[in-house]
Structure 1
């Protein structure tokens, strides 16, 4: 059986130490303790809000498969994360109230689907998670005197002067109502590398990426060597992986590569996310087809949208020569998992 045991081992991904520069506790694989123990260790130190997890469930599983889910299934999934039925129902009510979900009833059963108004938000998050994110095309600069804090957060704005803000020019971020400039950095590259951490909390994002690597790296290692591991709840692990990666990715301003430190852990976190998601998906999708109930039938094992996501992930990681073997093995294991031993 699989467990995650605290220790000082340096885990590796494709020949590189996962814990380089990481001061917090790392984890090692053991085959001697039950499945519930490793599930507890994966959740250790995390505070998962019901509404946020429900958004992850819909974004990762439900939306690509028709967009409708029975409330009973939603409760069953959330309970595996330690969230009570009461908290799930309260969170769903709030998501309905905020216009992100729409409820439907059939007899005594309640079903919820994604609202049209929320589709753009979910589509943007899915593109960032599953498709390659190109470097921004220069920078956007705003001159504005009354920007709300929520706008500053959503736009990933760094304040460089009184009423003056800057952010990378990414296509997925809409322009805000302000005097707007499109500009390029023509000199001062070294100074910009030094300035960036004062404009955005890069140390916070780096630590969250490192936590993702330390938390999930042993799971990837284990599945590469034990592809049939029955103790691994692939739906649970994949949802938690998406939930944690989505949390930091949507907060990250996604600065140009030449502005980031050479050891920026976001690149390694991206590779781990892509590889582990692909490996988990074959068994996870069979579990989804067996247990997730939609409006009229169970959700399908896969769809063209779900397959596209996997194809993008297989192509999006940019492995080093050391990692190339791991990527190839990850894809081989994913195919192997389609065969019942």
Structure 2
């Protein structure tokens, strides 16, 4: 559901009828009851809200979802201009260690917005995330937050906060695993092209939980993530026309919500 809204619906007004969502997810093997269950769960979590659309009842992204998905999309498609790193780390020190499962949720959320774990209560990022304040409030976590320079090897520190060796290996596997799958797709078969494009996007998005988009000076030489990014961009572009035509055919007139 996040991939559909973040990857395709956000730039189309961020709304869709439940019928359109069922049609969109059918090529991926999701039955209508599963789609409705996923939508209901996403509403309860505060990411979607019910709206009345010209074609019937539907769902729009909440402001919280728009902020989260815009941030994720900028990282997925690398649309932000590259910025220089000033050599300082953004440091988050939790005042208390939450109990599970709250701790697991907080850990997952911090990783998603680009922070790496140095210890049970200490997290770092090469840049502050605009989502951090809201994230801590939603998770009910208090923290000390500041910028600081590391008195030591910054690349070594990055290697402690993120397992870059494993990440690089998985980037290589991503290219190897998906090269064969996408090469057999006929771009004129719109539902099939959409399904593979969506599965490729879903697989690529998983790296958001692990890759903080470190500045070049902190990355190992010949970083495999660069090759994987070019592969993802090329294949997404190759399937874009068929994917967009399939999405438009599913959505119909669902652009302008009225009062729910």
Structure 2 CA distance for aligned equivalents of residues 211 and 288 of structure 1: 29
> In the alignment, which of 145, 149, 155 is matched to residue 184 of structure 1?
149
1:235-265, CA deviations, whole angstroms, 9 ceiling, x for partnerless residues? 2222222221112124422223222222432
Could you tell me which residue of structure 1 aligns to residue 167 of structure 2? 205
Structure 1 runs not aligned, ≥5 long? 1-53, 298-341
Name the TM-score, length of structure 2 as normaliser: 0.75
2:215 corresponds to which of 243, 248, 256: 256
Please give the alpha-carbon distance, in whole angstroms, between the structure 1 residues aligned to 2:146 and 2:53. 52
Q: CA RMSD in A?
A: 3.2
Q: Name the structure 1 match of 2:90.
A: 140
Q: Number of paired residues?
A: 237
Does the 8 Å contact 2:93/2:121 carry over to 1? Answer: yes
Q: Which runs of 5+ in 2 are unaligned?
A: 137-141
SS at match of 2:239: helix
- Greater relative CO (CA pairs within 8 A, separation 6+): 2
Q: How does 1:1-341 map to 2 (within 5 A)?
A: 54-105=1-52, 109-130=56-77, 131-132=79-80, 134=82, 136-137=85-86, 138-148=88-98, 149=103, 150-156=105-111, 157-160=115-118, 163-174=121-132, 177-185=142-150, 187-189=152-154, 192-193=155-156, 195-218=157-180, 229-231=187-189, 233-295=192-254
* 8 Å Cα contact 1:125-1:250 kept in structure 2: no
SS at match of 2:132: coil
Q: Judging changes above 3 Å, is the alpha-carbon distance between structure 1 residues 72 and 197 closer, same or farther for their aligned structure 2 residues?
A: same
2-side partners of 1:147 and 1:205: how far apart?
27
Asked whether the 8 Å contact 1:111–1:294 carries over to 2, the reply is: no
Structure 2: distance between partners of 1:104 and 1:188: 52
Higher helix share: 2
Larger Cα Rg: Structure 1 or Structure 2? 1
